[in-house]
Structure 1
Amino acid sequence: MTPYTLLVLLTAVERLAELRVARRNAAWSLARGGVEHGTGHYPAMVLLHTALLLGCLAEPLLATRPFVPELGWPMLALVLAAQGLRWWCIRTLGPRWNTRVIVVPGLPLVAAGPYRWLAHPNYVAVLAEGVALPLVHSAWLTATAFTLLNLPLLGVRLRCEDAALGRSVPG
């Protein structure tokens, strides 16, 4: 097993850990009257993020992509920074964090941690990782495809979250 394969597999394990946290947090939110929004786009998100991991494994192997240190090491640093930001978001939101859009009525918006500066810092982590993880091993087709497919999906997600949270949604 190559170090890159191990990195991608560890990322997959991390995603499974996120899903466990999300499942627990969904139960917490729903028990407090939480309402789920935007269920229609969620399966597409799961499929796209799964495809990202599969592409990261397949492209370097099938297209014999080399590890280019000048690209790979900075991208690895960006992957690690994205993970740090993601878990900072998860920790800051506590039981309110979820992979789904579930809002408990009456709870104020969180304005701590990275949410002091950005409305949606978790998606900064998603964007960074979607580019950086494939590029650790020169999988530029995977990085490009994920980004081009993720941007419109992320637009749907952001509009959904903003509407669910009662934020004004730009035209």
Structure 2
Amino acid sequence: MIWYTALVLAVAAERLAELAVALRHTRWSLARGGREAGRGHYPAMVALHTGLLAGCLAEVALTGRPFLPPLGWTMVAVVVAAQTLRWWCIRTLGHQWNTRVIVVPGLPLVTGGPYRWLRHPNYVAVAAEGLALPLVHGAWVTATLFTLLNAALMAVRVRCEDGALARMPGADVRV
């Protein structure tokens, strides 16, 4: 369980790094006239992601589930792939990436990197990580709860993002 705790803490550290990047990008966006949408769902998103990390550790500690190597190592690979995709999204979007929905007028819709193939690849990374991280050590209750709650939250979030982009002057965004 010590190495699993280290993995979950590493993911938590990665999330803190994301928040630092997002704060920089928020300042950049707002200084250029960016407008935030969807403030209401943001606290739920923070709570859900915090709950994922806490749930991973709590479920494994309380249930004593063993590490099952075929499942565990496969899920570690999925977690690493999700992190790679997430940072590819961040790099591709540059200053336009954020944990909040902030749209800067006049900036074009990004269609490079993973956005060539998927409209919301970062959310694919979130979904994959939210399923895989708990399953690394058999925390299937946490994986199930996060997946269900995240699906509901992403329905709200994607509508919010698409709507914010579509409302931009001169937007050619098909939602």
| TM-score normalised per structure 1 | 0.97
Structure-2 separation of matches of 1:22 and 1:147: 24
Is residue 125 of structure 2 the alignment partner of residue 125 of structure 1?
yes
Aligned-residue Cα RMSD (Å) equals 0.8
Q: Which consecutive residues of structure 1, in runs of 5 or more, have no partner in the other structure? A: none
Hey, what does 2:3 align to over in structure 1?
Answer: 3
Structure-2 separation of matches of 1:144 and 1:152: 13
Hey, what does 2:54 align to over in structure 1?
Answer: 54
1:1-150 equivalences in 2 (<5 Å): 2-150=2-150
Hey, what does 2:169 align to over in structure 1?
Answer: none
Deviations along 1:111-156, one digit per CA (max 9) or x if unpaired, are 1100011110000000000000000000000000101111111000
Structure-1 separation of matches of 2:165 and 2:91: 19
Structure-1 separation of matches of 2:119 and 2:149: 22
Structure 1 stretches of 4+ moved >3 Å: none
Structure-2 separation of matches of 1:51 and 1:145: 10
Percent identical among aligned pairs is 72
Structure-2 separation of matches of 1:145 and 1:65: 17
Q: Report the Cα offset of residue 73 of structure 1.
A: 0.4
Question: Counterpart of 2:125 in structure 1: which amino acid?
Answer: A
Q: Which consecutive residues of structure 2, in runs of 5 or more, have no partner in the other structure? A: 167-172
| TM-score normalised per structure 2 | 0.95
- Number of equivalent positions: 169
Question: Counterpart of 2:79 in structure 1: which amino acid?
Answer: V
